[in-house]
A and B are shown apart, each in its own frame.
Chain A
Amino acid sequence: MSKPISQTRQDKIYDIFNYTILILLLLIVAYPLYFVVIASFSDPKLVATGKVLFWPKSFDFKGYLEVLNYTPIWVGYRNTLFYTLFFTFLSVATSLLAGYSLSRKAFPGKVIITAFLLFTMFFNGGLIPTYLLVKEIGLYGNPLIIILLGAVNITNIIISRTFMRSTLPDELFEAASIDGCSHFSFFFRIVLPVSKALIAVLVLFAAVSQWNSWFNAMIYLRDPGYMPLQMALRDLIVNQSAMSMASENADMGGDAVAQIYLVEAMRYAVIIVSTLPIMCVYPFVQKYFVKGVMIGSVKG
């Protein structure tokens, strides 16, 4: 609501100051992202010599063509799709089911079980004992471990519990149970339909975290055929660049230089290819992400 009171000079100065900083910040965050996009479409030689700054120069898709023929990325893509799908399903299902049970007031043992779950948030065995355990139970090298490890997210269980407590009063179930409705059918016919916003939040958080994860794969998988997308990315854009850091200074012949330019182009292209799915969905689901932070901040 705009007030009829005219803005004072001080307020105008404040606004100018405020907007300038916000726009500056906008540019600082947006420019690196924008630069990756334009660099991926430009001649790598011009990119490497600093000729590409604000718009693409001499359109070039070599990087993308190279990525297209680089199998580890596509194997990784396929694996990540599988991992994300199953991990998200398992994670969301366990959170909803556990959250529902713990949200019921008359449920005997809910305090003990909640404490049992919460304790793991504050203390854990750590990397080495977990690693030894995974080896012992024979899941080392088995892609199943990527789906199972971290699928039960205590924060998400607490979020679900809080959400269901406030949206599904116990009286509702009691009324339904008079008509012979069991917890089982109540869960599927009432709880799930009214928890759509919650489910959206849980699905999005689980999917993004699995899409972006690589560490468990590095620790527990060996077979390159099982590696997720982020591991292939890591080999391409983190490890190789570290290796080439030392050699970049050395004098090199024309062929070697061309090769380096090609790898550079590939790096920009692969960043786009791997981040595109999330960035395409992002604007549409932004409100859910924000909602998730809100629900999550209630407790936990």
Chain B
Amino acid sequence: MKSSRLNTGSGNLKPLSYRIWESRQLYIFLLPAIVLVIIFNYLPMYGVTIAFKDFKPHLGIIDSPWVGLKYFDRFFSMPMFTVILKNTLILSFYMLLAGFPLPILLALMLNSASNQKLKKLVQTITYAPHFISIVVIIGMVNIFFSPSMGIVKNLLNSLGWLEGNLGVLIDAAAFPHLYVWSGVWQGLGWSSIIYLSALSAVDQSMHEAAIIDGASKFQRVLKIDLPSILPTIVILLILESGSIMNVGFEKVFLMQNSFNVSTSEVINTYVYKIGIREGQYSLSAAIGLFNSGINFIMILLVNQISKRLGQESLW
């Protein structure tokens, strides 16, 4: 706290109207962001009301008649309801199970590798897929696992583990595995960055003391490194579980074909299909609202848990 003469008052003692006038340029700075947020974020929130209306395009949002929970009732009684809910949850939990621990493992391993060149190389290579577009990733999956010409089929054939064509791409049961493991392949390195930065803050004197006490490298990783980054792990786990209903829509959409639709139809893809392709706006808005409602509740819940654990609240 400097008692600088210039600093005295710093606005707080001046009347509010004066401070507002003084900050007029700051409001202008905020204007573009606020205008765009109002148009593209808040106005659609008003459009959510069509979930409770019988939306007719020629009547518009305001003049369409209210129908209460009709479309929610219809959604909950549809046979698709349980299917897309199940698929969504399976994909998210599977992704969390596989995609969450592996970056932690990678970070611990990288951190304990003393060869800096190898460490740097592994980092550079494993971060790279993060920047490849999802379209290209799925294109690569399709090419590699192509039934008759893909490299996977050719390899399996020459190893004698498979005869004839490879059916993975048109196999509904294989879809979750393809989805999750291609995601792990793409995100493993990038997700490890945050743990690596947490590890770099670990006090080196602890390691030195442990070495003197005769602790092996493995013991030190397990007893010093891992506990040190536990708070980071907990926070990220909580954050991840807050978006459990948000399956990577674009990716599922790109991977979907008529053969795997029984496992690949998730809430978001279904909203797109019946909303934009079939024009059932009210029904799909109701489904979308159901989804964002659950997401919202999850985030509040997760934030509450994080507060309870004595961690910083998310906002």
Contacts and interface: CB of A to CB of B under 8 A. Distances in A.
B189 A11 contact: no
B209 interface: no
Interface string A163-194: 00000001100110010001110010000000
B211 A3 contact: yes
A19 interface: yes
Contact of B6 (A122, A174, A278, A279): A174
B122 A123 contact: no
Main secondary structure of the interface of B (DSSP, over half): helix
Interface string B43-56: 11111101000000
A104 B314 CA distance: 21
A256 interface: no
Contact of B189 (A29, A120, A275): A29
Interface string B257-284: 1010000000010011001100001001
B106 interface: yes
B174 interface: no
A58 B12 CA distance: 76
A55 interface: no
Contacts of A107: 23, 26
Contact of B124 (A94, A154, A233, A286): A286
Contact of B115 (A19, A25, A90, A130): A19
A11 B217 contact: yes
A50 B151 contact: yes
Given A107-B26, A238-B138, A94 B32 contact: yes
Given A11-B217, A101-B30, A148-B36, A126 B288 contact: yes
A152 B133 contact: no
Nearest to A246: B170
Given A35-B151, A233-B135, A106 B10 contact: yes
Contact of B11 (A106, A129, A289): A106
Given A18-B109, A126-B289, A237-B142, A212 B134 contact: yes
Contacts of B118: 19, 22-23
Interface in A132-149: 132-133, 136-137, 148-149
Contacts of B4: 171
A9 to B, nearest CB: 9
Interface in B1-60: 2, 4, 6-7, 10-12, 16, 19-20, 22-23, 25-27, 29-30, 32-34, 36-37, 39-48, 50, 60
A113 interface: yes
Interface stretch (A65-73, A195-203, A264-272): A264-272
B142 A174 contact: no
A246 B7 CA distance: 74
A171 B197 contact: no
B127 interface: yes
Main secondary structure of the interface of A (DSSP, over half): helix
B136 interface: yes
A131 B276 contact: yes
B149 interface: yes
B193 A290 contact: yes
Interface residues on B, range: 35 or more
A122 B243 CA distance: 10
Contacts of B153: 50
A136 B60 CA distance: 9
A211 B133 contact: yes
Nearest to A96: B29
Given A22-B113, A123-B45, A127-B288, A293 B143 contact: no
B76 interface: no
A5 B208 CA distance: 11
A11 B29 contact: no
A128 B276 contact: yes
Contacts of A184: 25
B276 A151 contact: no
Interface string B124-144: 111111011111101110111
B315 to A, nearest CB: 6
Given A237-B143, A249-B165, 9 more contacts: A25-B188, A106-B11, A113-B30, A124-B41, A125-B46, A128-B285, A148-B36, A212-B134, A267-B139
Q: Which 5 pairs of residues, A with B, have the shortest CB-CB distance?
A: A50-B154, A125-B44, A129-B47, A237-B139, A106-B11
17 contacts: A3-B211, A11-B218, A25-B106, A25-B122, A26-B126, A50-B157, A94-B36, A106-B11, A126-B288, A131-B276, A152-B32, A208-B131, A211-B133, A215-B253, A233-B139, A282-B131, A293-B197
Interface of A: 3, 5, 8, 10-11, 14-15, 18-19, 21-23, 25-26, 28-30, 32-33, 35-36, 47-50, 53, 90, 93-95, 97-98, 100-102, 104-109, 113, 116-118, 120, 122-133, 136-137, 148-152, 154, 157, 170-171, 174-175, 178, 182-184, 187, 208, 211-215, 219, 230, 233-234, 236-238, 241-242, 245-246, 248-249, 260, 264, 267-268, 271, 274-275, 278-279, 282-283, 286, 289-290, 293-294, 297, 299-300
Interface of B: 2, 4, 6-7, 10-12, 16, 19-20, 22-23, 25-27, 29-30, 32-34, 36-37, 39-48, 50, 60-61, 106, 109-110, 112-115, 118, 121-122, 124-129, 131-136, 138-140, 142-144, 146-149, 151, 153-155, 157-158, 165, 169-170, 185, 188-190, 193-194, 197, 211, 216-218, 249-250, 253-254, 257, 259, 268, 271-272, 275-276, 281, 284-285, 288-289, 291-292, 295-296, 299, 312, 314-315
